[in-house]
Structure 1
């Protein structure tokens, strides 16, 4: 029996100053064709038609509007040919214009509260090592001189897997639907670019790099190593491996030109990975006599409580809102992203953007600040409801000089509401299970890019963090990278790392009654 092959449809793509052609298989979306062609696209919702970021315009051969298109665009826009790439299934030769916002200049935290990276003097004939943090959204790495353990050069960038979705569940879903090889190739190539830039900046020979240490959450490591994600995304969420991995650069990064050992920091479970192990190790929680809290705020909110006797860890599904994902006008931490908002008398008093550029959208810290200010001005009530006349079209932050206005709408508020409630509920459960009160906590280590830049008072104000811990909160920056740096050239420390992972107990919050009760309690906005 002859199998009928789907026909291939030729699509001409116009993107800024360039033009190229791709082939789209019949019954496949424009987005799928773009991904196969390695185009840089924004698909924060993983192609579900929710985020509205994959905006295109048909100049020829436009498709019928989907239900998602009708929810995203006005009738005039639809008539003019605007569509979402993820729901556009062409049937004939077409010409499209891409309107997807790129985030290549995203601001990534590659430092801690102790030693901001400044570069340092070094000898080119020394031996070197590279520390790497693979985040769901970003990549950060530093080159260190072996003898001094000091950073020589740094590299940061976006994780290109972001094109397959903003959160780990979207990536797992993509891997389980045939995109695993592409996801692995994307991160492999991105890291090789970073290695090349680090070495180029330092002007050293590749042969002088002796070791690479990598930290990352469990999903990012599975995708890097090409592990199956089939059991990672469904209960009971079983990883292929969470232990330490030792390999070499020739196997893992065959096009890098490096010939060195590669070590991957062990994790604990499907949702508490090696990035948290590195963070706990950097903060030395396993050596502290007093009780401390560790909170990493990102798409997957991981947290820990403990001391030298024991450590409890857990994770909550905070979602990508803290990084600008699933927000109507949300973008990453790029120049022009609104990051600070102040209001007075129910009007915008001041807006600040990253690098002082013209507003392009709003990043995670900016969304949190905007929500706090709207609650403070009673434009949002305690249930999270926007008052009239803002309920339908949202509250205008910036008119963007003739472009699409930047607003905070009801859906955005719900995203922040759900995220902040999940984080607070996780904190409360950890405290209760550990048998501690707010008074018992010595330090709260706030880790990650969002935690580094967030206005702590406003985070407390909307109820995400307890007011009682306000004087104990310490933003500590990228502890995943800092932990990886600390482990470079330290073979003896890997045995201590094993002791750390052995003393950790995980609390699974899925279906946990106390977590659900706290979650419902902290959904409300009551300014503290």
Structure 2
């Protein structure tokens, strides 16, 4: 049977397997769709619109669907069909690329060396011997460098090579450690570029950097296509175990290639001048990128294949010849405290902190570290994707039309209490859902107005029902609701984060007043109303005046890695002094988790 898929301006015509559900067929044909629950039929996010044809749909439970709307994970094609997938999420997603900028003296591993060529140039036994004699060095040479150097003393290269150096009076060589890796005719041609990449569970952010100057030349970001295999890393591991590790790996590789192509187009640089790509992300994201089997990371004792830094060739990793350079996969501390946290701590200079500081990256996992230059304790808590909208009925990502800020006013009329809901959306567009910062706001506002009590239940004296319609008075936006189940999701997520903080404080042996600064990283943290986060107990109130928002610190630390060679040693120091705390084996975590469930 044949399936026609319309997604925005793109149309796909594919053959399908009627024994597989629609979601499986879309994945097999590399047609990307969001499926946060990994096709279990619980999130209601993989909606498609049937335009023509016959299908069979299994029970979708309490998920509300419009006319001709179906869940891809519950649908089986019974004839040739035409369906439509919304591409709103892909087009309008807001991805955090900004970060706290540090003053860094560029000092990368790659160096540019100019060498004058005169008529008495050839004084050694060979051209490479002459180069080393002139510079008093013992450089080795790559084949690429030798090919270009051969044009310097051979006249036939003028006719055969567009890179001929024949009759040049100066050459510019690029070296890495003790190896000459490339040769150019002019200084302008011999720029040294690198690409820093942060692979997040939901999003991928990338920057093209001049490694000599530290200047950022181009930026781009993209949704992580692995979201079709589930919103969280465990769902993706499960898919890789039961169905196809290759599919999971290839999806993020394709995203990265697409992003690099965008960087090259927008900067208009010569791709031959890109000498390094550095990739940071949580450890599971990196394992899946490298196509490493990682079943062991989903079960106790959560053993990673490697936490070490890894250098590979671009083609070896991506099976793509877009670039010819090395790729560095940055190091992790443990299976669940990954390179994104190591990079973030490096950007926040944990390697030389005199005072004790707390670092928190709030996302699908709540990864956090506490310490200074002498001692660091760190952990990860499974907050789940609630803060990113995945398990919330009207939850969506940070896209245009997402409600991202809310407050509730109370008025008394004729002895009755009325509530007026005021909200803002991303891009001031009509409301289509609610994103992470809005989820925190509505929870805090419901609590402050007395609509819910400290246990999270709707107070029957102040509110009749088990949900609140945020857009009741808005004739333009879609119906956006916040339910009792949504509140429970938030309680679980915020309790996991708060309990992790408390466990680290206890393990380190310090109190709130001992902390000098609290760094909050990540896209969710960047938009967070900190006072409302404190109202619901996500962040201790005592720490509010110590908080510093640092943005995408993972990307910041990755940029530092490619422009300053000392960052590698700084990361090593952080890893050497860091002690990972396994929350699942901590006797105090369960009691802390229960205590922190209430608001």
TM-score by length of structure 2 reads 0.80
What is the rounded CA distance, in whole Å, between the counterparts of 1:211 and 1:511 in structure 2? 39
Q: 1:51 aligns with which of 40, 43, 46?
A: 43
What is the rounded CA distance, in whole Å, between the counterparts of 1:453 and 1:239 in structure 2? 32
What is the rounded CA distance, in whole Å, between the counterparts of 1:487 and 1:16 in structure 2? 38
1:406 paired to 2:480: yes
**Aligned residues of 2:351 and 2:571 also touching (Cα < 8 A):** no
1:132 paired to 2:124: no
Q: 1:429 aligns with which of 474, 491, 503?
A: 503
1:369 paired to 2:369: no
Q: 1:31 aligns with which of 23, 32, 36?
A: 23
What is the rounded CA distance, in whole Å, between the counterparts of 2:18 and 2:401 in structure 1? 38
**Aligned residues of 2:8 and 2:87 also touching (Cα < 8 A):** no
Q: 1:455 aligns with which of 519, 524, 529?
A: 529
Q: 1:84 aligns with which of 71, 74, 78?
A: 71
1:358 paired to 2:430: yes
Task: Give the SS at the match of 1:262.
Answer: strand
**Aligned residues of 2:367 and 2:381 also touching (Cα < 8 A):** yes
Q: 1:111 aligns with which of 77, 98, 109?
A: 98
**Aligned residues of 1:321 and 1:416 also touching (Cα < 8 A):** yes
Task: Give the SS at the match of 2:261.
Answer: helix
**Aligned residues of 1:324 and 1:332 also touching (Cα < 8 A):** yes
Aligned to 1:119: none
What is the rounded CA distance, in whole Å, between the counterparts of 1:173 and 1:100 in structure 2? 26
Aligned to 1:502: 576
Aligned-pair CA distance for 1:91:
4.0
Kindly tell me: are residues 171 and 123 of structure 1, through their superposed partners in 2, closer, same or farther at Cα, counting changes over 3 Å? farther
Q: Which 10-residue stretch deviates more, 448-457 or 181-190? A: 181-190
Q: Residues 51-87 of structure 1: CA distance to partner in whole angstroms, max 9, x if unpaired?
A: 10111244555445433x242136xx5xx54321101
What is the rounded CA distance, in whole Å, between the counterparts of 1:493 and 1:478 in structure 2? 17
**Aligned residues of 2:433 and 2:478 also touching (Cα < 8 A):** no
Map 1:99-498; keep pairs closer than 5 Å. 101-114=88-101, 125-345=190-410, 347-387=419-459, 391-397=465-471, 401=475, 404-498=478-572
Kindly tell me: are residues 286 and 56 of structure 1, through their superposed partners in 2, closer, same or farther at Cα, counting changes over 3 Å? same
Kindly tell me: are residues 349 and 408 of structure 1, through their superposed partners in 2, closer, same or farther at Cα, counting changes over 3 Å? closer
Structure 2: segments with no counterpart, 5+ residues: 104-186, 411-417
Aligned to 2:160: none
Aligned to 1:13: 5
Map 1:69-80; keep pairs closer than 5 Å. 69-73=60-64, 77=66, 80=67
Q: Residues 213-261 of structure 1: CA distance to partner in whole angstroms, max 9, x if unpaired?
A: 1101011101110100221212221111111011121222333521112
Kindly tell me: are residues 381 and 228 of structure 1, through their superposed partners in 2, closer, same or farther at Cα, counting changes over 3 Å? same
Q: Which 10-residue stretch deviates more, 239-248 or 10-19? A: 10-19
Runs of 4 or more above 6 Å deviation: none
Kindly tell me: are residues 516 and 455 of structure 1, through their superposed partners in 2, closer, same or farther at Cα, counting changes over 3 Å? same
**Aligned residues of 2:421 and 2:470 also touching (Cα < 8 A):** no
Q: CA RMSD in A?
A: 2.2
Task: Give the SS at the match of 1:104.
Answer: helix
Q: Which 10-residue stretch deviates more, 455-464 or 508-517? A: 508-517
TM-score by length of structure 1 reads 0.91
Aligned to 2:58: 66
Q: Residues 400-443 of structure 1: CA distance to partner in whole angstroms, max 9, x if unpaired?
A: 64764011111211111111111101101100111000010000
Task: Give the SS at the match of 1:474.
Answer: strand
What is the rounded CA distance, in whole Å, between the counterparts of 2:12 and 2:479 in structure 1? 30
**Aligned residues of 2:361 and 2:368 also touching (Cα < 8 A):** yes
What is the rounded CA distance, in whole Å, between the counterparts of 1:378 and 1:100 in structure 2? 38
Aligned to 1:3: none
Task: Give the SS at the match of 2:35.
Answer: coil
Aligned-pair CA distance for 1:124:
6.6
Aligned-pair CA distance for 1:349:
4.6
Task: Give the SS at the match of 1:72.
Answer: coil
Task: Give the SS at the match of 1:296.
Answer: strand
Q: Residues 264-319 of structure 1: CA distance to partner in whole angstroms, max 9, x if unpaired?
A: 11001211111011011111112111111000000010000011211001000111
What is the rounded CA distance, in whole Å, between the counterparts of 2:4 and 2:211 in structure 1? 50
**Aligned residues of 2:32 and 2:228 also touching (Cα < 8 A):** yes
Task: Give the SS at the match of 1:235.
Answer: coil
What is the rounded CA distance, in whole Å, between the counterparts of 1:331 and 1:162 in structure 2? 13
Kindly tell me: are residues 125 and 203 of structure 1, through their superposed partners in 2, closer, same or farther at Cα, counting changes over 3 Å? farther
**Aligned residues of 2:471 and 2:478 also touching (Cα < 8 A):** no
What is the rounded CA distance, in whole Å, between the counterparts of 2:343 and 2:23 in structure 1? 36
What is the rounded CA distance, in whole Å, between the counterparts of 2:45 and 2:371 in structure 1? 40
What is the rounded CA distance, in whole Å, between the counterparts of 1:436 and 1:393 in structure 2? 40
**Aligned residues of 1:188 and 1:224 also touching (Cα < 8 A):** yes
